[in-house]
Amino acid sequence: MRASAFVYPWDVNGDPAAPARIAGLGVGQVTLAAAYHSTRALTPRHPRHRVVTAEYAAVLYPPDTRWTGRALRPYPAGRWAPGDAYGDAAQALTGAGLEVHTWVVLAYNSRLGAEHPDTSVVNAYGDRYPWAPCIAQPATRAYLVDLAAEAAVRPGAHGTGLESLGWYGLQHLHAHDKTSGVGLGEAGQYLMSLCFCPSCRTGYAGQGLAAGEAAAAVRTALEPLWRGAPDDGGWPTVEKLLGEDAAAATRAWRDTTARTLQEEAVAAVRAAAPDGFRLLVHADPVSYHCGANAGVDPAHILSVADGVVVPCTDGTDRLAPFAGRAAGRRVLAANLTVVAGMGGSPGTLAADAARARAAGATELRLYHAGLASDDDLAAVREALPAR
């Protein structure tokens, strides 16, 4: 199967050996970050640094004039990715014979929420999630759609992977996170991720659900979970706690909001992209799930995008809902972590790839060529056939 490795520009820029080392893994493609969230990352082989701190969500290239005068606009990166860091890395990787695709993180931006708090998801208790832009708000949607088009279609890119193209919620990798004291499962995560900003309140009303009553019902539904009641039933538990009609109304609003955003973003990217440009969405087949792998309806997203990138490090179950609908030239890419220190298993990559193929995967995505240890990379080279 065709394989692509995720890479950051700072893994490549300033390290003349990086492009050949990545090409030597046996991948024919890289998925290179063009717009990325805040992070702290090791660079274990870089000749100039060992830790890169990306202080806020930023674009890793100079944004163009479309943003002039707009309140919501992308932030250029700081010293961790100065200038056209993406473009410099892309040129070096292309020179090593690798096909470069962009990696674009969208609805996940703590700086946006800090500087424009009204853009954030607001839970039923009135708490804001600054990392989670509410995708129902018109100005936020316009920002995300334009960001998708600009960041995805960089010069020379053959395709893109759009991450966080949907709802983000409570679950969030955050520095010194202290939210695991109560073990919320799928139902609790969903209830704590419901947004009650003015746009969503209006949306619930359109579904016949009074927003004030809905927020109160969510708080009541959560109370047993705060007291230790089990939360292991997924959507049936949401229906039990919130009531079937209220649960259905919230999901109808959120599913429609996410689907239409996905349609708008994909259309904007296609309008800007050259012929043959491949557009994939990082996706979870359960539409009410939140996060980097946006909850989607499998049939819908495969009717819109060229394919999906599906997390498979913990198994291939998520592939099945897509597999029956990925006919023709649709891409079903299994995303496997190959960093042992981050829960991956590079030593079993060949077997994991075989299982993914049997489950319907057509390609592999390997996370992450820059973060992996030397031993991890050696295991990848052994597992992948030489190009």
292, part of any domain: yes
Which CATH number goes with the domain that contains 335? Answer: 3.20.20.80
| Closest alpha carbon to 260 in 297, 206, 309 | 297
21, part of any domain: yes
pLDDT values of the chain reduced to their tens digit, one per residue, 387 residues: 899 999 999 999 999 999 999 999 999 999 999 999 999 999 999 999 999 999 999 999 999 999 999 999 999 999 999 999 999 999 999 999 999 999 999 999 999 999 999 999 999 999 999 999 999 999 999 999 999 999 999 999 999 999 999 999 998 766 666 666 777 899 999 999 999 999 999 999 999 999 999 999 999 999 999 998 888 889 999 999 999 999 999 999 999 999 999 999 999 999 999 999 999 999 999 999 999 999 999 999 999 999 999 999 999 999 999 997 867 779 999 999 999 999 999 999 999 999 999 999 999 999 999 999 999 999 999 999 876
351, part of any domain: yes
197, part of any domain: no
362, part of any domain: yes
This prediction's pTM: 0.96
The total number of structural domains in the chain stands at 1
235, part of any domain: no
The domain in which residue 280 lies consists of 2-180+257-383
| Closest alpha carbon to 17 in 48, 40, 39, 51 | 48
67, part of any domain: yes
230, part of any domain: no
